[in-house]
Every structure is written in structure tokens, then in C-alpha cells.
Amino acid sequence: MKTYTIISRGDSLSEELSRQTEAELQEHGYTRNDLQPDTVFVIGGDGTYIRAIHEVLRKAGKWFSNVCFYGIHTGTLGFYTDYRDKDYREFMDSFFNNELREKKYRLLQMTADGMKHHAVNEVRVENPYRTQIIEVYINGEKFETLRGSGVLVCTQLGSSAFNRSLGGAVIQEGLDFIELTEMSVIHHSLFRSLQSPIILKPETVIEFRSNNFSGAVLACDQDTYSLEGLHSFTVSSAKDINVRVLSGREVSYFDRLKTLF
């Protein structure tokens, strides 16, 4: 059965395109299913796209592996979409004419004491109250001890987001790496850390340890969680889950990148 759901940014333009999209899908025999859709139409910006992935992942459970995301940007061109609102007709015709390609992207996975959370862009630890001391282990080997406001791990997709604002490297599309970037880390003669982002293989497992995470917040994209009572957790690429994205016309990665500056 051809099923869909629509997730919108909620502004007037996005809502109007949502209504138009729904009407056309219904006319073509598609059935709305908000719990287990085949296709998720995302109408908004990159933030809406990430929110949609998290929302569907929570609702769909194991069905998530069957879901494809297809988006149109109601602003400037984003990293997750190939069409702007003015391209609406091409956006829908490409879907109905089956002129789309599928891309798969890995999610990040955070695990600790039976807890598991996922992220599209990044997993980060931030402590706004005090200097956070974190021991970093890479594939079981002690790498560094850092002291600062926190640390971030991002995907290739997330490398141009918060990671970039921290001075991290932007990873070109198609390079399936993860990146570790320190946040406002303190350095002096008694203790130092790498003081540079490091790009790692996708199969790398990073463990963060601390005697005290009190006051620190774990953020998986826009979702936040307390670290109270925890002393360690791991971040790695998820092995059993990918995001399936439908892509229409070819848009240069560097054209997308240039919209950032």
C-alpha cells in the first residue's frame, strides 16, 4: 500500500504546500499513515527535516527501515533537500513519475547503561555550569583528557552545522566519516588535549568517561537528556539503522555549502 505522512515547519507557506501536497497524494491513491508511512514528506528547513527523522523514528520503531524521507525547502536551499518552494511542481512530478534516487545516511548512536539515543547531525556533551573534565577513549584506548565546556561528535551531514561553528572541518558529501571536536577547552602547562578536530573512520567507537557529569547535558541533535548518575557512555555509528532519503535533481554539494557564507 502506498502510504505517506507530512511533517511541516508550521509557517504559512509550509502549511499551504502541505495542504497542496496532501490533496495531490490523495488524488493519486495514496493513504495517510502517521505511524508507519512509506514516505515522509518534509516541508520546511533542515531543522524540520531533522525533527521529522526523530519523530518518525520514535513512532515507527522497526518500521523505520522501510521509511523514505523526501523534502522541499521553504526558504534557502538546504543540505537535506533538492527543491525550494518555487520548484513545487517539479518536486511532486519527480515523485509521481518515479524519477528519484535513494541515498542512505548513517545515524550516530549513543549508548549507556541500557540507554540508547540516535542523532542525525551530532551528539554533544555541554556543561554550562562548570568546567567539565572528560576522558576520551577511542576503540578502547585512552586518547586524551579534556577540560572545558564539552565535546561534540558529528556525522558528515552534521559537519557543516554546529561542528563548523566550533572550528571543525566540513566533510565533503560521500565521505562516510565521523568527527570529534572539542568545545572551549582549557589549555595550560599542567594539562593539554589535542586542541584540534579529528576525523575518524565510521566504525570507530568513542567512549567518554568522567567522575562527575553533574550539570552536564547530553544533546542528540535537538533532543536533550540528563547525564546525572552516569560516569561513561559511548558514541558510534549505528550499525543497524540508516536514514533513507529520496533525491531528485542533482545539486552540487559546493553550491549547497556556499549558502552558508
Identity of residue 205: V
Cα 237 to chain centroid distance, Å, stands at 12
**Backbone φ and ψ of 220, nearest 5°:** -110, 95
**Angle, in degrees to the nearest 10, between helices 12-27 and 88-96:** 30
* Alpha helix positions (H), 28-87: 46-60
Q: Which three cell numbers stand for residue 113?
A: 547503561
Contact 136, 180 (CB under 8 A): yes
User: Catalytic annotation on 46?
Assistant: yes
Q: Which residues of 124-159 are buried (b: 16+ CB within 10 A; e: fewer)?
A: bbbbeeeebbbebbeeeeebbebbbbbbbbbbbbbb
* Alpha helix positions (H), 31-134: 46-60, 88-96
For the four alpha carbons of 20, 23, 25 and 28, in that order, the dihedral sign comes to: negative
Q: How many CB atoms within 10 Å of residue 215? A: 14
DSSP H or E run through 178 = strand 178-183
DSSP H or E run through 206 = strand 205-209
First CA to last CA distance, the chain: 43
Task: Check 11, 34, 38, 46 and give the catalytic one.
Answer: 46
Please give the positions annotated as active site.
46
